[in-house]
Structure 1
Amino acid sequence: MPALPFKSWSLFVVAGVVTVLSLSVLPTTEQVLDQRRQAVAVFQHGGGRWLTDDNLVDAMATLPLRGRLSKVVWDHSILTVDLTADSADGVWADLAQLVSFACGDTRNVKQLLVRFFASKSSGRTLMMAAETRKSDWSLEALADPLLPAKLADPDGNNNIRLSVTPSGKRWLANFAN
């Protein structure tokens, strides 16, 4: 009779050891799955690249922007970009570059937020802000060479939401003259 409690306790000990060993293998399995996901993302056809914290700086550095990048934030599929410009001459071209990059060249950006600042002797002044979503754009619209001009037209532009400050209206009007 004393052998029966020993067998039941030994069964619990064996089950505990198996559980501990199987739990210790989980991190290795997760690393293997992450490597497979990254390999699949690299070799998928025609979908663009994944934007991550690791490649954000390199991706933004390749964009030919006229304004200076002040701040770039990548958080939960939302790309936020702050640009500082000395004049308004490159605002629409920069906005078109950022929209094409975020909505056309990347796979995992769902929303783009852009703020334009003017550098003045007293500091930076917000001139305008733009917000758009990837679902607002078709590939044909992103490939249009007249995209900067269409972004500047407030009546013909339904894909992007602009907010222009009063000083930003004067800033843009001075460029137009």
Structure 2
Amino acid sequence: MAVWKRLLLALTATLAVTVLLTALPHAGRRPAEDGRDLAVFRPVTVKRLGSDNLVDSMIGLRLSLKLKKVDWKQGVLSADLSAENMPDDLAAWMGDVQRMLSLAFAQTDNVSRVLLRIVEPMAVQQGAPVQPSYRLLAAVDVRRTDGWLPADLSRVGDANPVADAAWRAKLRMTLTGDVIRRFGSAAGGDGEPVPGTTSGL
């Protein structure tokens, strides 16, 4: 009879320890007011761009133009976007410029400058190397310290820097003569490259 008592006592002790060990991890957890568990990690509104998340950040932008090259160095984000599939869609160009600037200056806190080039492939001559070469169409240079960013960043996608000198100045945008002819001459209507643009590379 004594053996059964000792066995029952040992079984009861084992069961009590098991229950205690199961409940221990939850002892310090405080339920949320609505009855759900609190999240262990909270969303971070600002992230730091770096070589470890550069590619994922670019993919997440869902750019309309083709990303041909991207570089991250000492706070400067630079990229080449190819307009080969959208050569005449200025709205698509500017939409991508806005996405890049928003990533750099609204979603991160460690990008000091963005350098963008919009390019297109040059016609491949017979017998030329398979690797295509690109010619410059437009270039953008924007810095975190630019005073217009807080008020006007969300308007970049609707801008027409070909016709609007103010936007060319804000974006430090350089346009080639081909872009001027392609999208119509800027104010003045002479069809020549406007101040801040170049007719060649």
Specify the TM-score bucket, using the shorter chain as the normaliser.
0.5 to 0.7
Q: CA deviation at 1:105?
A: 1.0
Which residue is equivalent to 2:53? 55
Q: CA deviation at 1:45?
A: 6.1
The structure 2 residue matched to 1:107, chosen from 98, 106, 109, is 109
- Report the AA paired with residue 102 of structure 2: S
Provide the rounded CA distance (Å) in 2 between the counterparts of 1:108 and 1:43: 20
Going from structure 1 to structure 2, the CA distance change for 1:155 and 1:112 (only over 3 Å counts) comes to: same
Provide the rounded CA distance (Å) in 2 between the counterparts of 1:154 and 1:66: 23
Q: CA deviation at 1:79?
A: 0.3
* Greater length-normalized contact order (CA 8 Å, ≥ 6 residues apart): 1
RMSD: 2.4
Going from structure 1 to structure 2, the CA distance change for 1:165 and 1:106 (only over 3 Å counts) comes to: same
The structure 1 residue matched to 2:75, chosen from 74, 77, 93, is 77
- Name the SS of the counterpart of 1:170 in structure 2: helix
Percent of counterpart pairs with the same letter?
A: 27
Report how many residues are paired: 130
- Report the AA paired with residue 178 of structure 2: S
Bigger-Rg structure (1/2) = 2
> Structure 1: 5+ residue runs without aligned partners?
1-41
Provide the rounded CA distance (Å) in 1 between the counterparts of 2:83 and 2:98: 15
Which residue is equivalent to 2:150? 139
- Report the AA paired with residue 142 of structure 2: T
Provide the rounded CA distance (Å) in 1 between the counterparts of 2:112 and 2:160: 19
1:171 and 2:178 are equivalent in the alignment: no
Which residue is equivalent to 2:6? none
Q: Which moved more, 1:116-125 or 1:50-59?
A: 116-125
Going from structure 1 to structure 2, the CA distance change for 1:45 and 1:113 (only over 3 Å counts) comes to: same
Provide the rounded CA distance (Å) in 1 between the counterparts of 2:184 and 2:120: 14
The 8 Å contact of residues 150 and 156 in structure 1, kept in 2 or not, is answered as: no
Going from structure 1 to structure 2, the CA distance change for 1:76 and 1:151 (only over 3 Å counts) comes to: farther
The 8 Å contact of residues 97 and 156 in structure 2, kept in 1 or not, is answered as: no
Which residue is equivalent to 1:149? 158
Q: Which moved more, 1:99-108 or 1:117-126?
A: 117-126
Provide the rounded CA distance (Å) in 2 between the counterparts of 1:109 and 1:151: 25
Residue-by-residue CA offset, 1:9-35 (whole Å, 9 max, x unaligned): xxxxxxxxxxxxxxxxxxxxxxxxxxx
Provide the rounded CA distance (Å) in 1 between the counterparts of 2:160 and 2:184: 15
- TM-score, scaled to structure 1: 0.64
Which residue is equivalent to 1:161? 172
Which residue is equivalent to 1:128? 138
Q: CA deviation at 1:125?
A: 1.4
Going from structure 1 to structure 2, the CA distance change for 1:150 and 1:111 (only over 3 Å counts) comes to: same
Residue-by-residue CA offset, 1:101-139 (whole Å, 9 max, x unaligned): 111111100000000001242342110101010111443
- TM-score, scaled to structure 2: 0.57
- Report the AA paired with residue 107 of structure 1: D
Going from structure 1 to structure 2, the CA distance change for 1:138 and 1:129 (only over 3 Å counts) comes to: closer
